[in-house]
Structure 1
């Protein structure tokens, strides 16, 4: 661009005061700097904007034509600067969530967020922990909500809320009436579990440490609902988040199994890229997540 906004300010101030000294004072400039700015824009375009009558500057025909255009352009620039300084428009927020969070928490969170913040729009991507982490790393998502533990040099990983996995089976399964399951019961059972790369599988493997090599993993499925349907159909027993099983337990289509010797506790996490600019949308979303920390 061959002119600056400062030159437009000098031009308009000079047109208003018809005096370069007073124009310079209004802009907190020296007289020489204001004179140089006005002279530069005229020389740059080989034009003359004022007729000089002594110390008085009087707009000529070209100056009168350009003045309203310069005023409009400067007003737009000032409005843009105000937006940069006080920007509060939320716009589109791209959120990623792992399957349990995406299916059982994130939709409600999206709806309440957009209700509370007019003009906000949330786009949700649901995938496993590895996929969500990769998309946050590549700036394809603004923020991720994940179930798996994660260490990554480019990502901030913040603890969010507590969760527990629950072992479960169909009501007619032989283990359904047993009070507590022993490790021997766990080894003898057929299992339907999540796939590797998911946070739920990570927590399950950790809870079953020492048994994994001898367990009968019959099916590894990518979707929580598919696992629930498979267990209902008698294909084995499963282990999923308590959040994903509440309705099924309430209906009686699935029943929880007590495994007191194994630790199924875990945490959900919020992840962001360390270099990601945290505008008002992200900051409000993080605050919104606080309302969902209670189990």
Structure 2
């Protein structure tokens, strides 16, 4: 298998262009075409349906693309491991974090690690929990810190902290004027939510299902800060992490609804299930997390 051809194919698909792939990889365009053609010959299948006006990956191309990403991720990890072994706590760690963890919890963890191991380069990707878990499956990331349950195959997770979910309401919302509140008052309301795939959205859906709440409208915003700001502006209610509210100075938006019981979720460390795939740097990072949060790791 020609790994250079595989890398060229993945880059071309990512950029949706042979020209951009040649520029990024510093290859001539004929070389890019040759690499992809040789890969198509190897699999005896057309991987990219291309014409002067379009670039579209085929179904078999999609299969090869997903596996190629995994293979290249494993190779990159092996190179990092060899480098780390030869240079002792140098190299890289690729860390993924869900938005709540990445924006409000991870920075202090990184500071503690960087103080101890300044020669290790830290690369952080922040996305919703589902995307982080998927990236770990594909070996694009070494370790993830996410919220909510981890159900994807091939992953191991360890809870490291608990987080409370709370209702926040605009300052001048009529709900604040009700002397005797009931479920009826939160029916047919506009709710502000994170996107599907985020741990916060999963908790909102669970809360609404548990209490049979029917929203008038659901507005989706792809960031925690955006959700809080939307509530401040009076756009609607939300069900969000206390960690987010306290770190954005929005405690005045909290409204204690006696008929909605407190709900909690966990923040978890996520790694590939096969512990042998962890580099020394990742093991040290996880060990530091274990010391910080008094975790017992198997």
What TM-score results when the alignment is normalised by the length of structure 1? 0.64
Q: Distance in 2 between matches of 1:84 and 1:233?
A: 50
Matched, 1:174 2:174: yes
TM-superposed CA distance for 1:209, in Å, is 1.7
Q: What is the aligned partner in structure 2 of residue 257 from structure 1? A: 256
After superposition, residues 35-54 of structure 1 pair within 5 angstroms as: none
**Residues 181 and 257, structure 1, Cα contact 8 Å, conserved in 2:** no
**Residues 205 and 212, structure 1, Cα contact 8 Å, conserved in 2:** no
Matched position secondary structure for 2:133: helix
Q: Distance in 2 between matches of 1:126 and 1:179?
A: 41
Which 4+ runs in 1 deviate beyond 6 A?
A: 82-87
TM-superposed CA distance for 1:196, in Å, is 1.1
Q: Distance in 2 between matches of 1:95 and 1:164?
A: 24
TM-superposed CA distance for 1:186, in Å, is 2.1
**Residues 92 and 122, structure 2, Cα contact 8 Å, conserved in 1:** yes
Distance 1:176 1:249, change over 3 A: farther
Q: Distance in 2 between matches of 1:84 and 1:173?
A: 56
Q: What is the aligned partner in structure 2 of residue 33 from structure 1? A: none
Q: 1:211-256: CA deviations, max 9, x gaps?
A: 456223330111111111111110001111110000445674x333
Greater gyration radius: 1
**Residues 190 and 217, structure 1, Cα contact 8 Å, conserved in 2:** yes
TM-superposed CA distance for 1:177, in Å, is 4.9
TM-superposed CA distance for 1:146, in Å, is 0.9
- Report the more deviating stretch, 85-94 or 151-160: 85-94
- How many residue pairs match? The answer is 212
Matched position secondary structure for 1:208: helix
Matched position secondary structure for 2:118: coil
Structure 2 unaligned regions, length at least 5? 1-81
Distance 1:292 1:178, change over 3 A: farther
Q: What is the aligned partner in structure 1 of residue 238 from structure 2? A: 238
Matched, 1:140 2:143: no
Q: What is the aligned partner in structure 1 of residue 273 from structure 2? A: 274
Q: Distance in 1 between matches of 2:91 and 2:195?
A: 35
TM-superposed CA distance for 1:197, in Å, is 0.8
Matched position secondary structure for 1:272: strand
Q: Distance in 2 between matches of 1:261 and 1:231?
A: 19
Matched position secondary structure for 2:89: coil
Q: 1:157-176: CA deviations, max 9, x gaps?
A: 22221111111022222223
Matched position secondary structure for 1:256: coil
Q: Distance in 2 between matches of 1:172 and 1:84?
A: 56
Matched position secondary structure for 2:105: helix
After superposition, residues 1-295 of structure 1 pair within 5 angstroms as: 88-178=88-178, 181-211=181-211, 214-249=214-249, 252=252, 254-275=253-274, 277-290=277-290, 293=293
Distance 1:208 1:193, change over 3 A: same
What TM-score results when the alignment is normalised by the length of structure 2? 0.63
